[in-house]
Structure 1
């Protein structure tokens, strides 16, 4: 039997303790549009066909019954990491924007392929990355 193909990443998730601080950061600092707001989850538009799920840490461990079926409980502890894709021509603009909004860049990496990554923290200490191509062999532009 042939393996079906994966079409891409639909969602990525981060767990936070303070949903209001997270919304302020993801909505107002990073400019993501919130699509869903609930007690345990905020979902943000992270680009065409992509979503960032912000879960309230400690409130997602139990299964959730929905009209369509059961969403299995899940959780994490500690800081997580994910990356947003940016254009190579936007790296300096993001450096300037983050500085102007008092968001400290904790690391900057220039990768062997030539791409640049800017790393910074959200209010809960999760490590976020703005990644410009080329980085991975499948991330050219």
Structure 2
């Protein structure tokens, strides 16, 4: 049996939203990400880290669920999701209180704010499309 070659890490993750303009406002104004590419009615892409590059892709599922046309320049297979997804951004633990304050001032309802068994903390809220968004101390994934 063949062993899989190594993976470098996560390069991109996708969420889905029907209202891309609202998604762009949220991810740029409230969360502070740079929208570096957009196609009206189809997608908006946001940079979450530069080195190595990491990207959040926000698509309108209705625009991406059809297969690409024959001869398409970028023959990306169809994709999409129904219902809310989940996305987590790593945040320095000493900034989680500042994030909580910022979200409250921005009228974003906090659904949960708690510590995991290993002492790491997570804050959960929803984006305008209803996706579950988490800001977390990256040590949630370290062993206790």
- After TM superposition, the score normalised by the length of structure 1 is 0.91
* Alignment length (residue pairs): 137
Take 2:18 and 2:68, find their aligned partners in 1: how far apart are those partners?
Answer: 20
Q: 1:79 aligns with which of 80, 84, 88?
A: 84
Indicate the residue corresponding to 1:10 in structure 2: 11
Kindly indicate whether the alpha-carbon contact (under 8 Å) linking 2:87 and 2:134 is maintained by their aligned counterparts in 1: yes
Take 1:31 and 1:135, find their aligned partners in 2: how far apart are those partners?
Answer: 23
Indicate the residue corresponding to 1:47 in structure 2: 49
Take 1:30 and 1:64, find their aligned partners in 2: how far apart are those partners?
Answer: 32
Q: What do residues 68-102 of structure 1 show as CA deviations (whole Å, max 9, x unaligned)?
A: x4100001100000100000111100011101111
Flag as ranges the 4+ runs of structure 1 deviating above 3 A.
Answer: none
Structure 1 unaligned spans of 5+: none
| Alpha-carbon RMSD | 1.4
SS in 1 for 2:16: strand
Take 1:88 and 1:64, find their aligned partners in 2: how far apart are those partners?
Answer: 42
| 1:9-48 alignment, distance < 5 Å | 9-39=10-40, 40-48=42-50
SS in 2 for 1:97: helix
Take 1:90 and 1:64, find their aligned partners in 2: how far apart are those partners?
Answer: 42
Structure 2 unaligned spans of 5+: none
Take 1:114 and 1:63, find their aligned partners in 2: how far apart are those partners?
Answer: 45
Indicate the residue corresponding to 1:106 in structure 2: 111
